Amino acid sequence: MAVVEENWQLKRPTIVERTTYIFNNQLLSDVKFVVLASTGESGSKKVIPAHKFVLAISSPVFFAMFYGQMAETKNSIELPDCEYESLLELFRFMYTDEANLSGSNVMQVLYLANKYMVQSLAEKCNEYLRENLKASNVFCILPHAQKFADKDLEERCWEVIEKHTEEAVTSDEFVTLERSLVESVVKREQLKVKEVELFKAVDRWATKECEGQGKTPEGDVKRRILGEEIVKAIRFPLISQQEFASVVFDSYILSFHEVGDMMKHYSNVLSTPLPYKQTPRLHCRQFSRFKNILSVAASGGWSYSSYPDRLHFTVSKPVMLHGVQHFGSSGSEYTVSTEVKDTTDGSILVKKSGSYPSEKADTDSYYGFVVQLDRPIHLVENKEYELVSLIKGPNSWYGEAGEKTVDCQGVQFTFRSVGGTTTSNATTDERGQFPAFLIS
């Protein structure tokens, strides 16, 4: 036993100060807990000395364990479901009313707090998570949220990942993930990151896995470790030709045939479809062009005819157009055919048709839907384009007091009514359809 300070009780006037003194101490200990060492010390075990009375007055579970009808008689108890660091923090709280929480231990401490019914510590863990969940630690917390089936926390983790993707996938924790979680990330539809940066993160993860398995991180080895599900989930057509040549090609993850198909894709001579998605992940910036938006109930709504709604527009800087939002109404579905034309020669740059359910997004005050283009259009500065949508469906919400010029993070959109035609529905630069554009 370690040397005991003489008359130590006299120097500690409160019960918390006295229990703090005997925390993790052999002094007066009448039970010990044998647990796995923390991550990084695989297979080894550590011992934490404790005091049955202190644990029992803090936890109904420990009270039953030590003083109930089926009381534990052994003085050495093994706990296979927790690690040293986390159990130590549980005990620290029981002895001192304090806990040293971190992104790496908070989920395990929360699990133990719930298991041993230490409600005040569980609340402290939840408060820590609310205040500290961020992109830099989200991949520490997400695996634990899944392990302990905390659905609410898991959803909050995915929200952080979707909004701050680039910071999350470039964090040190990303390369420590299980392969299944990496696959879940790259298959997400909503990620705010350039596709080439997502590929770099996946390549970095595969390289780290190779090193962990004692293998040389060559292209074919990384490919096998990643698996086809992850590779095919990367949207290579969204990567520029220059980035593909300098980043993707040099990783040697894709085969010679796959690289050849991508080169044909960039040259517009590909005869067979690529096996990768070409629609952008929903990380685009969105802006609205109307000051006022009217509901169907308040105004009777916007009606549709056999003529399409049309609008001309220009941009002040080169930008990628990913989609266009349309108005809808509650519980309705619309059949839409949308085109973007070059007004110089009337050529159709892109066309997308389909049926779309109308919903109210969290960020919107109205019902609507987005027609997302199969491939983004590169809009040239000061060139006029025409947006055309033939819409079939019930009356919808619509906008008024439209802005003729809207600035979106340095890109100025200027709108102009088509006018002078009898083959158009009533949308103008001041009222009607097309409430928002999705750009990057």
Residue 275 lies in a domain: no
Co-location of 94 and 193 in the same domain: no
Residue 116 lies in a domain: yes
Percent pLDDT > 90 in the chain is: 64
* pLDDT higher than threshold 90 for residue 266: no
Residue 193 lies in a domain: yes
Q: What is the per-residue pLDDT across 207-223, written as a single tens digit (0 to 9) for each?
A: 999 999 999 999 999 99
Average pLDDT of the residues in 180-204: 93
* pLDDT higher than threshold 60 for residue 41: no
* pLDDT higher than threshold 70 for residue 362: no
Pick from 235, 266, 297: which residue ends a domain?
266
Residue 234 lies in a domain: yes
Q: What is the per-residue pLDDT across 102-122, written as a single tens digit (0 to 9) for each?
A: 888 898 999 999 999 999 999
Residue bearing tokens 């050529």: 347
Q: Which residue has better confidence, 149 or 331?
A: 331
Co-location of 384 and 335 in the same domain: yes
* pLDDT higher than threshold 60 for residue 284: no
Distance CA 186, CA 184 (A): 6
* pLDDT higher than threshold 90 for residue 341: yes
Residue 77's domain comprises 8-132
Average pLDDT of the residues in 401-430: 84
pTM of the model: 0.58
What pLDDT score was predicted for residue 114?
93
Distance set, CA 241 to CA 191, 244, 248 (Å): 21, 5, 10
Q: Report how far Cα 360 is from the mean position of its chain's Cα atoms.
A: 21
Co-location of 83 and 209 in the same domain: no
* pLDDT higher than threshold 70 for residue 357: yes
Amino acid (1-letter code) at residue 363: T
Q: In this structure, what CATH number is given to the domain that contains residue 386?
A: 2.60.120.820
With a CB cutoff of 8 Å and minimum separation 6, the contacts of 123 are none
Q: Beta partners for 341? A: 348, 386
Distance CA 342, CA 249 (A): 34
Q: Which residue has better confidence, 345 or 422?
A: 345
What pLDDT score was predicted for residue 176?
94
Average pLDDT of the residues in 411-432: 84
Co-location of 219 and 107 in the same domain: no
Query: To the nearest whole number, what is the mean pLDDT of the chain?
Result: 90
* pLDDT higher than threshold 80 for residue 40: no
Average pLDDT of the residues in 194-214: 95
Structure tokens at 10: 């006299």
Co-location of 96 and 193 in the same domain: no
Residue 143 lies in a domain: no
Distance CA 171, CA 175 (A): 8
With a CB cutoff of 8 Å and minimum separation 6, the contacts of 137 are 103, 171, 173
Q: Range with the lowest mean pLDDT among 7-11, 29-33, 70-74?
A: 70-74
Co-location of 186 and 60 in the same domain: no
Co-location of 304 and 419 in the same domain: yes
Co-location of 128 and 212 in the same domain: no
Residue 248 lies in a domain: yes
What pLDDT score was predicted for residue 323?
87
Answer whether 338's CB lies under 8 Å from 352's CB. Answer: yes
Question: What CA dihedral angle connects 96, 101, 106 and 110, to 10 degrees?
Answer: 20
Q: What is the per-residue pLDDT across 225-255, written as a single tens digit (0 to 9) for each?
A: 999 999 999 999 888 899 999 999 999 999 9
What pLDDT score was predicted for residue 253?
96
What pLDDT score was predicted for residue 54?
96
Residue 290 lies in a domain: yes
Structure tokens at 180: 């299944």
Answer whether 290's CB lies under 8 Å from 400's CB. Answer: yes
Domain count, the chain: 3
What pLDDT score was predicted for residue 421?
57
Pick from 211, 234, 266: which residue ends a domain?
266
Q: Which residue has better confidence, 183 or 265?
A: 183
What pLDDT score was predicted for residue 286?
64
Q: Residue 285's pLDDT band (boundaries 50, 70, 90)?
A: low
Q: Which residue has better confidence, 25 or 147?
A: 25
With a CB cutoff of 8 Å and minimum separation 6, the contacts of 216 are 210
Residue 139 lies in a domain: no
Co-location of 254 and 165 in the same domain: yes
Distance CA 110, CA 65 (A): 20
Three-state secondary structure along the chain?
CCCCCCCHHHHCCCHHHHHHHHCCCCCCCCEEEEEECCCCCCCCEEEEEECHHHHHCCCHHHHHHHHCCCCCCCCEEEEEEEEHHHHHHHHHHHHHCCCCCCCCCHHHHHHHHHHCCCHHHHHHHHHHHHHHCCCCCHHHHHHHHHHCCCHHHHHHHHHHHHHCHHHHHCCHHHHHCCHHHHHHHHCCCCCCCCHHHHHHHHHHHHHHHHHHCCCCCCHHHHHHHHCHHHHHHCCHHHCCHHHHHHHHHHHCCCCHHHHHHHHHHHCCCCCCCCCCCCCCCCCCEEEECEEEEECHHHHCCECCCCCCEEEEEEECCCEEEEEEEEECCCCCEEEEEEEEEECCCCCEEEEEEEEEECECCCCCCCCEEEEEEEEEEEECECCCEEEEEEEECCCECEEEEECCEEEECCEEEEEECCCCCCCCCCCCCCCECCCEEEEC
Average pLDDT of the residues in 284-294: 78
With a CB cutoff of 8 Å and minimum separation 6, the contacts of 213 are 225
What pLDDT score was predicted for residue 42?
60
Q: Range with the lowest mean pLDDT among 156-160, 333-337, 382-386?
A: 156-160
Q: How many CA atoms lie within 13 A of 253 on its CB side?
A: 26
Q: Residue 363's pLDDT band (boundaries 50, 70, 90)?
A: low
Q: Range with the lowest mean pLDDT among 93-97, 129-133, 291-295, 407-411?
A: 407-411
